[in-house]
Amino acid sequence: MKYLSLVFDDGPRDLMCEMTDKIRGFGWSAAFAIIGNRINDETLPMLKYVIDNGFQIVSHGQDHSDLRLVSSKDEIINELTLPIKTVKQKLNYEITMARLPFLSASGDVLEIAKDLKLPLLGQGIDGGDDWDSSVNSDRIIEAVLGSACDGAIGCLHVLGHTSEALDVILPELKKRDFHLVTPEELFVKNGITPPLGVQINNANEYFNPAVSSSLKRPLRN
């Protein structure tokens, strides 16, 4: 069996619960990367729902700022950690990983994340630029299925056309003997600790040198 992890950015949004149900229907799990300033009384039940269903929550920044353009160390720290503090306070859930907004990082950002002991999830599966509202579900399906590989961490978004694409992607991944897990589970299953100071595209890179670095994609939301 092959393992991969899909992480859906820009939550919390209503579709999180729908997407959770689709993935749980296969007995699988995934993760949602959430923006801190979207956490409120209306969205907290969505977060609780996905957590209660065994999904992982990761930080996607407080304001979804491009951290390459932030010069203050304190501001970078706040961007990465405020969602973590809010979720801990509101739901008593420990966020242990992050995905950088726009996947954008400078050396300073990577070093700060390393100091915070915060593993950074990258993009090891082509999401077909699903963040773009003009992209249709067929393009997302083709991109994901064409690039899915063992150990990869996918970067998709909590959007309608992405949820629609899951209706085709999930059964096809099952046919190909893939099993979806959370990023934390992906590393546990391989018996390694997530590396720090890098954006992790494929967990296999860190215990099997023969596995090449995953896809290089344009910056996206």
Average confidence (pLDDT) over 54-63: 97
In a domain, 122, yes or no: yes
CA angle 80, 164, 97 (to 5 degrees): 20
In a domain, 219, yes or no: no
Question: Quick one: 129 exposed, middle or buried, by C-beta within 10 A (0-12, 13-18, 19+)?
Answer: middle
Domain that holds residue 182: 2-206
In a domain, 111, yes or no: yes
Per residue in 145-179, pLDDT (tens digit) is: 999 999 999 999 999 999 999 999 999 999 999 99
CATH number where 183 lies:
3.20.20.370
Per residue in 76-130, pLDDT (tens digit) is: 999 999 999 999 999 999 999 999 999 989 999 999 999 999 999 999 999 999 9
Output the CA–CA distances (angstroms, integers) from residue 15 to 34, 67, 183, 197, in the order listed: 13, 27, 20, 31
In a domain, 214, yes or no: no
In a domain, 100, yes or no: yes
**Tally of domains within the chain:** 1
Residue 84 CA to residue 90 CA, distance in Å, equals: 10
In a domain, 218, yes or no: no
In total, the chain counts a number of residues equal to: 221
In a domain, 147, yes or no: yes
Residue 211, pLDDT above cutoff 80: no
In a domain, 46, yes or no: yes
List all residues 6 or more positions away from 30 whose beta carbon is below 8 Å from its beta carbon: 5, 6, 7, 8, 19, 20, 23, 55, 56, 180, 182
